[in-house]
Amino acid sequence: MKLAQLQLTQDVVLFLSRLLLAGVHLLVLIVAAWLLLHFYPGDHWAPVRLASYFAPWLFMALIPALAVAWLNRDRRLSGLIAVFIVIYTGFYWPVLVPRQRAALAGAGGQTLRVMTFNVNMNNRNVPELARLIRDESPDLIAFQEIVGDLAGVLLPELEAYPYQLVDTSGSLPLALVSRYPLIALPKPAGVDRVQYALVETPAGLVSVWNLHPIPVITAGWEAQRATLRQVAEAIAHEERPLIVLGDFNTTEQTDNYHLIAAQLTDVHWAVGQGFGFTFPDLKRAVSPDQPWLLQWLLQTGPVVKIDHIFVSDHFTPLALHVAPTSAGSDHRPVMATLLFNGRDNGQVTMNGNN
């Protein structure tokens, strides 16, 4: 009987080991396919888009996969995984290594703190939203999904921000809220879910784009690309200091993201730390009557980064962080501290006149 039990245990262990190794082979196949298809056909193919959204998780999964392959003495597989890890590490290296905090360039350096925050159209947790904003203390906030009744209750609570522009022309309202005067500007014709304005900062006029392009579910990729392409064409001719921020509904590995990233600096990649996941924050869905495992899963935090802040070279990024709470939204807000570096190209004067 004991020998039979021992044999059964060995068989189970062998089966699980082979199953785990098969999973590693599948992971390697997915990574290899994504690395190749990422270049062609690229995001035109939905599975490539999906893998691009979860590229950091593929990277992290390769580390235990290497251990499994090594323990199974599969040297060829181990070597291939090691190559993939090197490739991923090379790409993510800027946000994986510790960063030294940048110092202000000169005693009179003018800084600007900006936030992008998709507050979620169904969120009515106004006290926590207002408290989060007061704690982070940005100078300029770009809101997405700030629907009418939420805007009507939340914006009056933000007494430190007397300048407010709400854009209800698109399918989901956007708002810019600022300590400094705002001037609404016309956006490209036919572009939805985009807001364009000037901010009269103490250092001069700054152009701001608040973006919330459509998600890429089903046919949304083309619509999202059309929006970002039109914005990219507009900012190519922008001579003023420029900030582009919002819920882009796309990650840094996608073709659509690079329409903007090719022209501007992503503040996260300049001074951020870690992967900076912002979505989805599902803590609001937790309830005491749920099984503990479901509660734990809902509280694990965001898994993708789709909220971004870009700047022109008129700014030097100093710091960026993702807020530790979402105040009832499914997005966590992103905060950036920027130093105006004085490259005004003759367009901005210190008294704010253009």
Does residue 306 contact residue 280 with C-beta atoms inside 8 Å?
A: no
Tokens for 186, please give them: 């016309």
Cα three-residue angle 148-115-340, rounded to 5 degrees: 135
* Rounded Cα–Cα distance for residues 306 and 326 (Å): 14
* Phi/psi of residue 133, nearest 5 degrees: -65, -40
Cβ neighbours of residue 196 under 8 Å, at least 6 residues apart?
A: 184, 185, 186, 187, 207, 208, 209, 210, 234
* Rounded Cα–Cα distance for residues 214 and 229 (Å): 13
Q: Where are the domains of the chain?
A: 2-93, 111-340
pTM for this structure?
0.91
Residue 351 DSSP symbol: T
pLDDT the model gives residue 141: 98
SS3 content of the chain, % helix, strand, coil (to 5): 40, 20, 40
Could you tell me whether strands 182-184 and 265-266 are parallel, antiparallel, or unpaired per DSSP bridges? unpaired
pLDDT the model gives residue 102: 57
pLDDT the model gives residue 289: 81
pLDDT the model gives residue 142: 98
Tokens for 43, please give them: 């995001």
Beta pairing partners, 143: 117, 175
Per-residue pLDDT of the chain (354 residues; tens, 9 = 90+): 566 565 556 666 677 788 888 999 999 999 999 999 988 888 888 889 889 999 999 999 999 999 999 988 899 999 999 999 999 998 899 898 887 665 554 445 789 999 999 999 999 999 999 999 999 999 999 999 999 899 999 999 999 999 999 999 888 999 999 999 999 999 988 889 999 999 999 999 999 999 999 998 766 899 999 999 999 999 999 999 999 999 999 999 999 999 999 999 999 999 999 999 999 998 877 777 878 777 787 788 899 999 999 999 999 999 999 999 999 999 999 999 999 985 544 444 333 333
On the 0-12 / 13-18 / 19+ scale of CB atoms within 10 A, 282 is middle
* Rounded Cα–Cα distance for residues 219 and 216 (Å): 7
Beta pairing partners, 111: 339
Phi-psi region of 87 (alpha: psi -120 to 50; beta: other; left: phi over 0): alpha
* Rounded Cα–Cα distance for residues 10 and 32 (Å): 33
Count CB-CB contacts under 10 A for residue 338: 27
Q: Could you give the count of Cα atoms lying within 13 Å of 311 in the half-sphere of its Cβ?
A: 28
* Rounded Cα–Cα distance for residues 314 and 215 (Å): 30
Does residue 266 contact residue 310 with C-beta atoms inside 8 Å?
A: yes
* CATH of 111-340 given 3.40.47.10, 3.60.10.10, 3.40.1280.10, 3.40.50.970: 3.60.10.10
* Rounded Cα–Cα distance for residues 252 and 238 (Å): 23
* Rounded Cα–Cα distance for residues 224 and 79 (Å): 38
* Rounded Cα–Cα distance for residues 87 and 95 (Å): 15
